[in-house]
Amino acid sequence: MRGLAALCAGFVMFCSRHNVYAQAVHMAADSTSLTNPRIIFGGSGIFVGTRISPALNNRDFTEGYLSQPMLMGEASFPHYGLELDATLNFEGWTLERGELNPGMYGEGYIDRRHPHTYLHEIVATWVRGFGNDRSVSVTVGKGFAPFGTDDPMSRPFVNYPVNHHLAQILERAIVVGAAAAGPVTLEVASFNGDEPQFPSDLPNSNRLFDSWSARVTGRFMPGFEMQTSFARVLSPEVASGGGLTQRKWSASGRYDHEMFYGLVEWARTGEYESGLEAFSFSTLLAEASVSTSWAALALRGERTVRPEEERLANPFRTPVPPNDLSILGRTRWTTITANASRSFNIAKHATVSPFVEIARAHAAAVDQPSVFDPRSFYGSNVLWSVSAGMRVGIGMRHARMGRYGTALAPGVMKMGMDDMDMRQ
């Protein structure tokens, strides 16, 4: 972890000293021209310490990490309507044990956020416009399926919501077609159903394009959008196939204009066997942030039902793949999270953002009687989380994570960190 931290710090200092970002942006003779090629890139990470009380058996846990260490790049060739995006994520090195995150689950981790894959995203997108308000695009590669809302990594909070695996589908081999006419955009995708099992995992070749999703987005006023989406995902938790099939629904409203951001989302996942629903999990989330000249303040409320699976000797891990009998019940997590941060430019295109984030989570069994009792397991039904640290970044970052080509809102682009507001 120390070596990677030093590497990231060196990357920031080198790019700042040699103005690499600016050189890349101005690689064309006239970088302001919309027809010239452009290459931009950047790096980011979060140095964070977290304390959970209680975390397990009435004991408090305190841990520190380098979270979300990433390198990103984009190459645009407007003359051909082509754009290439790539994101490398090094959490497999820095978060092998997972990041303390009460209520979080997925990919063999529970009450910890799992590390994402090293090759987080690599996609190519072709876009063709027809007039001022019509366009089509095709995206291929490994990335985000068009379902639900933006990845939490690009939203104002450090700790992820519990609903990550209900509200997004990511790190899949995708083919996405999108079309926009006026304020309405339609995306349809085919992708592999199996989710990653470890950071270096790649989509299974025999599972390519066995699942699909569709999303409709309406933008009827500046900064505001509504989306509804559906996905059918075959055996996501059993990579070899034969597991339960998920049917996923999502609807949300999002507002992002000037210094204010807000999101309200609902999602539901049903797990089916032979056409019959075996389990269902739902979520309702609302979050907002406001940025001022001195700070950015954010607040999130979430109510999510998650599965309780059999745990291994390490109580923060579950079997991969799980078996159908491993679900011991369902737990409803009700969480309120507050975040305060402030951004500082430390060099050209380089930013640091100290933050503090506090969350109160309440866990309650949905089914009665239940094999899993939150109070007995944690020592209380109420868990407190306090995180503090610093975001660091240089160069570009994703303005939206989970949308490509025509699906991006008009005017959205990747920028240097010092061009962005205080939302991360």
- pLDDT-based confidence at residue 318 (cuts at 50, 70, 90): very high
Is position 53 within any domain?
yes
**pLDDT for the residue numbered 20:** 38
Is position 302 within any domain?
yes
Is position 300 within any domain?
yes
| Tens digits of residue pLDDT in 337-362 | 999 999 999 888 899 999 999 999 99
With helix as H, strand as E and coil as C, how does the chain read?
Answer: CHHHHHHHHHHHHHHHHHCHHHHHHCCCCCCCCCCCCEEEEEEEEEEEEEEEEEEECCEEEEEEEEEEEEEEEEEEEHHHCEEEEEEEECHHHHCCCCEEEEEEEECCEEEEECCCCCEEEEEEEEEEECCCCEEEEEEEEEECCCCCCCCHHHCCCCCCCCCHHHHCCCCEEEEEEEEEECCEEEEEEEECCCCCCCCCCCCCHHHCCCEEEEEEEEEEECCEEEEEEEEEECCCCCCCCCCCEEEEEEEEEEEEECCEEEEEEEEEEEEEECCEEEEEEEEEEEEEEEECCCCEEEEEEEEEEEEEECCCCCCCECCCCCCHHHEEEEEEEEEEEEEEECCEEEECCEEEEEEEEEEEEEEEECCCCCCCCHHHHHCCCEEEEEEEEEEEEEEEECCCCCCCHHHCCCCCCCEEHHHCCCCC
Give the CATH number for residue 135.
2.40.160.10
Is position 340 within any domain?
yes
With a pLDDT cut of 70, the percent of the chain lying above it is 87
Instruction: Give the residue, 399 or 173, on which the prediction is more confident.
Output: 173
Domain total in the chain: 1
**pLDDT for the residue numbered 36:** 85
**pLDDT for the residue numbered 412:** 57
**For residue 122, what are the domain limits?**
2-419
**pLDDT for the residue numbered 8:** 44
Is position 288 within any domain?
yes
Is position 409 within any domain?
yes
Rounded Cα distance between 148 and 168, Å, is: 5
**pLDDT for the residue numbered 70:** 96
**pLDDT for the residue numbered 108:** 94
| Tens digits of residue pLDDT in 262-286 | 999 999 999 999 899 999 999 999 9
Is position 140 within any domain?
yes
Is position 424 within any domain?
no
Nearby residues of 100 by Cβ (< 8 Å), 6 or more positions away? 50, 52, 55, 61, 63, 111, 112, 385
- pLDDT-based confidence at residue 7 (cuts at 50, 70, 90): very low
Rounded Cα distance between 169 and 321, Å, is: 18
Average pLDDT of the chain to the nearest whole number: 89
